[in-house]
A and B are shown apart, each in its own frame.
Chain A
Amino acid sequence: MLALSQPIQPQTADRRLAVQAIGLHKSYGTGASAFLALDDVSIDIAENEFFTLLGPSGCGKTTLLRLIAGFNFPTNGQILLRGKDIAALPPFRRPINTVFQNYALFPHMSVAENIGFGLKMLGWTKSRSVDRVAAMLKLVRMETLADRRTSEISGGQQQRVALARALAPQPEVLLLDEPLSALDYKLRKEMQVELKRLQTETGITFIFVTHDQEEALAMSDRIAVMNRGRVLQVGRPREIYNAPVDRFVADFIGESNILSGRLVGQAAADAHQVRIAGAVATAYGKAGTSGDGTVQVLIRPEHVDVLDSPSSDCIPAVVEDEVFVGTDTRLQLRLNDGSTFTARLTNSPEQEKIRTSGTQVWLRIHSHSARLLGGDHVQHR
Chain B
Amino acid sequence: MKYILIVGCGKSGKGLGLELSKTENVVVVDRSLRSLDSLGDDFNGKKIWADAMDTNTLEQAGVKEADVVFLLTGNDNLNLVVSKVVKRKYGVKKVVLQVNDIAKEKIFKEEGLNIINRTNLIVEVLNKCIS
Are these two chains actual partners, yes or no?
no
Question: Which positions in A face B, CB cutoff 8 Å?
Answer: none
Question: Which positions in B face A, CB cutoff 8 Å?
Answer: none
